[in-house]
């Protein structure tokens, strides 16, 4: 996405250092800032620059190496491998891979360290801006309601960081403060669903404060739909983790019903086309861009306080380049291939029709641009309306709502797919007369596999469904290049592989953090 708001990056490079030092409790080895905190935050324009720095924290989730976050990166790779590989929709070409096979994942893993620390950099930046917004003189805001709007954006980003921590680690400190004294350092680990609890509190407030939409020059900033979508998703996830709390399912439905103006695109492939970004189906995206020099560059912020390399979307995982170019390290699993009706129009838009390629093609075709077959200007769609419809179907079903309504929501997804072809008949609607809850839940789960294949959604789905006891994850469940290598089951620690280990760098510096079982 290229727009004037996010392309004002050169102006805010020095600010990146200010917010970084003020918010990052973990990494302090950066040059002294040329702008002090006391001299900043004096105008609406300066706050606008500060929130770009907070948005930039998302870079680390979807780009190579370490860019928007705070150190500990694994250069030349991407942390998103951490939640793409453990699923059953992808497999890798490597004979052995720790995250796909759940084999020897250790607290010293660099990608886990990066995911943990980068999440807190984004959360910390959001906390700092929230603090300054609440302290600021209302008179400095020239745009009506902008102070409340900006706070809503920061609450949304703080929630995104806590949501990622819940899904990757299960437990981590809930961070809503800016450290002022020594006794505030060393926050304790969360217990139960406290990370999701904070998401739900923050997103409820954010949804009330965010705008319905932004002007064309500021597309990409969080909206009410972004907040309501992530709020409903957090509620469904919490219900999954708490024995099917009906109140959470009902609240999720209410949040989803507050989404306005969103719809499924007529063409499924618009969700993966660089020329169709921020469309009617998209509720929130990673805004990848291109700078004046032509190399992909994320348009939120130019990699903190330095020009350290590209920060486009990471697609080496899919790209099947010539010898020496690209990686193509992710392949569609056998389970995914078998999940599609042969006539489903989504199939050739997901898996290369050339069977000899055995290649994912989502995101890397249709208006895409690659730099060295690694980074891309194509925005990754973090939250889209199709996700909302299927989550709502699940919430309706599990709250003892109308089964026919739940089936109808799933059928909207299937109808969009078949209507891409004139006179299309596949995938056909599921029968609205079905009354068996298990059958309907199976339809929802299988539709999510097809609809979101290769989008990084599947692992979070699998772990929450296992927590909810809808499925049982074991070695036989996963489809990989090397089924015999999968070591998900652990007799001594049955839940071990649902939660990645807390990074060694964190447990060594914070005595109040509790390591996950089995590590």
Q: pLDDT tens, 182-200?
A: 888 899 999 999 999 999 9
Residue spans per domain, the chain: 10-80+107-261+300-308+501-509, 381-485
The burial class, CB within 10 Å (0-12 / 13-18 / 19+), for 143 is exposed
Q: What is the pLDDT of residue 34?
A: 63
Give me the phi and psi of 359, to 5 degrees please. Answer: -130, 135
Q: Which helix (H) or strand (E) holds 91?
A: strand 90-92
Which pLDDT value is given to residue 301? 40
**Model confidence band, residue 446 (pLDDT cutoffs 50, 70, 90):** very high
Q: Is residue 9 pLDDT above 50, yes or no?
A: no
User: Out of 354-363, 394-403, 423-432, which region has the weakest mean confidence (pLDDT)?
Assistant: 354-363
pLDDT at 30 (0 to 100): 44
Which among 152, 167, 81, 77 has a CA at the least distance from the CA of 119?
A: 167
Does the 10-80+107-261+300-308+501-509 domain belong in CATH 1.50.10.20?
Answer: no
CATH code: domain 381-485 is 1.25.40
Higher local confidence (pLDDT), 296 or 398: 398
Same fold, 10-80+107-261+300-308+501-509 and 381-485: yes
Number of H helices, E strands in the chain: 16, 7
CB-CB contact of 13 with 305 (8 Å): yes
**CB–CB of 67/311 below 8 Å?**
yes
3-state secondary structure of 330: strand
Q: How large is the C-alpha radius of gyration of the chain?
A: 22
pLDDT of 400 strictly over 70: yes
C-alpha separations of 108 from 67, 84, 104, 187, 507 in Å: 20, 19, 11, 21, 11
Helix, coil or strand: residue 491: coil
**In this predicted model, what pLDDT tens digit does every residue of 16-41 receive, in sequence order?**
433 433 344 333 344 555 667 888 99
- Angle, vertex CA 145, rays to CA 141 and CA 148, nearest 5: 95
For residue range 107-152, what is the model confidence (pLDDT) as tens digits? Answer: 999 999 999 999 999 999 999 999 999 999 999 999 999 999 999 9
The answer to whether the CB of 88 falls within 8 A of the CB of 462 is yes
List the structure tokens of 364. 């890397």
**Could you tell me the pLDDT band of residue 205, with boundaries at 50, 70 and 90?**
very high
């Amino acid at each position: 996405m290229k727009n004037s708001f996010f392309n004002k990056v050169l102006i805010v490079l020095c600010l990146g250092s200010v917010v970084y030092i003020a918010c990052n409790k973990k990494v302090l080895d950066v040059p002294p800032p040329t702008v002090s905190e006391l001299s900043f935050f004096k105008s609406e324009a300066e706050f606008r620059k500060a929130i770009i720095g907070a948005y930039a924290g998302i870079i680390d989730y979807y780009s190579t190496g370490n860019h928007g976050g705070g150190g500990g990166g694994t250069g030349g790779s991407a942390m998103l491998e951490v939640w793409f590989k453990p699923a059953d929709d992808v497999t890798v070409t490597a004979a052995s891979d720790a995250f796909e096979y759940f084999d020897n994942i250790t607290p010293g893993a660099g990608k886990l360290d990066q995911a943990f620390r980068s999440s807190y950099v984004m959360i910390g930046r959001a906390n700092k801006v929230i603090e300054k917004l609440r302290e600021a003189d209302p008179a400095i805001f020239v745009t009506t309601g902008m102070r409340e709007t900006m706070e809503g954006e920061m609450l949304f980003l703080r929630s995104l960081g806590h949501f990622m921590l819940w899904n990757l680690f299960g437990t981590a400190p809930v961070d809503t403060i800016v450290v002022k004294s020594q006794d505030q350092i060393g926050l304790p680990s969360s217990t139960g669903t406290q990370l999701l609890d904070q998401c739900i509190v923050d997103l409820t407030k954010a949804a009330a404060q965010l705008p319905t939409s932004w002007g064309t020059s500021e597309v990409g900033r969080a909206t009410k739909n972004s907040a309501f979508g992530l709020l409903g998703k957090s509620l469904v996830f919490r219900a999954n983790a708490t024995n099917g709390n009906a109140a959470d399912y009902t609240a999720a439905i209410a949040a989803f019903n507050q989404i306005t103006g969103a719809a499924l695109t007529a063409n499924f492939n618009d969700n993966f086309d660089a020329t169709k970004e921020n469309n009617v189906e998209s509720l929130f995206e990673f805004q990848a861009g291109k700078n004046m020099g032509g190399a992909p560059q994320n348009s939120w912020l130019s990699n903190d306080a330095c020009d350290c390399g590209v920060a486009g979307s990471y697609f080496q995982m899919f790209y099947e380049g010539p010898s020496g170019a690209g990686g193509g390290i992710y392949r569609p699993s056998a389970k995914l291939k078998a999940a599609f009706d042969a006539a489903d129009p989504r199939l050739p838009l997901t898996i290369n029709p050339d069977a000899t390629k055995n290649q994912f093609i989502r995101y890397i075709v249709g208006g895409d641009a690659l730099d060295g077959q690694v980074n891309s200007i194509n925005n990754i769609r973090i939250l889209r309306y199709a996700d909302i419809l299927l989550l709502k179907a699940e919430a309706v079903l599990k709250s003892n709502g109308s089964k026919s309504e739940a089936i109808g929501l799933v059928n909207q997804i299937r109808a969009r797919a078949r209507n891409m072809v004139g006179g299309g008949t596949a995938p056909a609607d599921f029968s609205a007369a079905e009354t068996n809850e298990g059958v309907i839940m199976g339809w929802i789960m299988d539709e999510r596999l097809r609809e979101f294949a290769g989008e990084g959604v599947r692992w979070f789905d699998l772990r929450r469904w296992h927590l909810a006891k809808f499925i049982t994850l074991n070695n036989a469940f996963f489809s990989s290049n090397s089924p015999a290598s999968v070591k998900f089951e652990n007799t001594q620690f049955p839940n071990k592989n649902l939660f990645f280990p807390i990074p060694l760098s964190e447990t060594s510096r914070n005595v109040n953090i509790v390591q996950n079982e089995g590590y």
